[in-house]
Amino acid sequence: MRKKTVVITGGAGFIGSHLCDRLLIEGFKVICIDNFITGTPNNIKHLLKNEALPRAIRRGGFFERNIESCFKAGRMSKNFRFIEQDVTKYINIKEKVDYVLHFASLASPEDYLKYPIPTLKSGSLGTHNALGLAKQKKAKFMLASTSEVYGDPLIHPQPESYWGNVNPVGVRGCYDESKRFAEALTMAYHRVHKIDTKIVRIFNTYGPRMKASDGRVVPNFIYQALHNKSLTVYGKGNQTRSFCYVDDLIEGIFRFMHCRINEPINLGNPNEFTILELAKLITQLTATKSKIIYKPLPEDDPKQRQPDISKAKNLLKWQPKIELKQGLEKTIHWFLGS
C-alpha cells in the first residue's frame, strides 16, 4: 500500500523538524522544504540516511517513543526527502501529495525584527504557494499560525473566538499581520476551493533544537545561565507566558491533522508563569551563578499570554502532559550536549 506523503514547509526549523520525526515514525513519506533562513541542516541531518525507521508504539492513546535512541541506532527513514527552496517561489512537487503543512516562518522576535520583509513574504506569498500546492494535489492543508494573532490581548485567557488587539504598524506587525493574513487566505481557499484546511494557533513552545540566538525567552535564559551571563528580564518580569513542551505540541498537531475540523484551534499549555518565575526556575535548574537584571519592556510586548484550550480538549481529546520543570530539564540537557 502506498505511504501517504506529507510536504512540510519549514521542515528544518525547530517545530518543523520535530514534526518530520513524528510523521516518519508514524509511517508517512515526508518531503521537507526549507531555505535555512532560520532553520538549520543540523535539525534534519539524522534523517538523511537511507534506512527504515520502525513505526510508532502507542499505549493508552498517547504517543510513546524515544526518538533519539532510534536515531542514534541508525534506523533513519528512507522515506525522507529534502528540497532546499524559498517557499515564496513556486513549489513544484511531481508526485501525489496527501497533506501540505505550512510551517515556514520567521517565528522568533530576533529573526522577524531582522528580516521583516521575508517574514511578510513567507506569510503571504509562501502561504499562497503552499495553498496552491494543496489545491493542485487535492491535499489537506494545515497552517501553522500563532498566538501572536491575538496581539496584546484584552481578553484572558484567549479563546479562538477572540479577534485580537494587534498594532499593524508596530515593529512586531510584520509577524502578527503576516499570520493574520495567512489565516484569512487559508479560510478563503477553504470557502472558495473547498480545500480541507486547518489552522493551528501555536502558543509559546520550547524544547530541543531551539537556537541559542532565537530571541525567545526560554533559550535566551538557558543560554545566559549556562554561560554565567546575567539573565535579562524586561520590565519587572510580571508579564506572563504559558510554556508548552514541543512533544506535547507535536501530539496535538498530529491529532489535528486527522480530524475533520476546519476552524482555528489553540495548542499550548494553559499553565501560566511570570517571566521572573521562569528566570528563577532556570537559575535553579542550571545551578548558575548568573544574576537577574532588568531592562525596559520592548515595544508592543504582550502583558499576558495564556491559551484557552477547551476546543482542543473537546475536539482532539488533547492536553499537554509535560510539566515546565520536566520540559526545562530536557531542554537544558540538550543545550549542554549541543
Just list the catalytic residues: 175
Q: What pairing do the DSSP bridges indicate for beta strands 5-9 and 265-267?
A: unpaired
Q: Name beta bridge partners: 242.
A: 272
Q: Give SS3 for 216.
A: coil
Which amino acid, one-letter code, is at 292?
Answer: I
CB atoms near residue 74 (< 10 Å) = 10
Q: Cα(249)–Cα(246) distance, rounded to whole angstroms?
A: 5
Question: Which string of DSSP letters, residue by residue, matches 115-173?
Answer: -HHHHHHIIIIIHHHHHHHHHHHT-EEEEEEEGGGGBS-SSSSB-TT---B--TTSTTH
Q: Cα(26)–Cα(139) distance, rounded to whole angstroms?
A: 18
Q: Cα(104)–Cα(35) distance, rounded to whole angstroms?
A: 9
Q: What pairing do the DSSP bridges indicate for beta strands 240-242 and 140-146?
A: unpaired
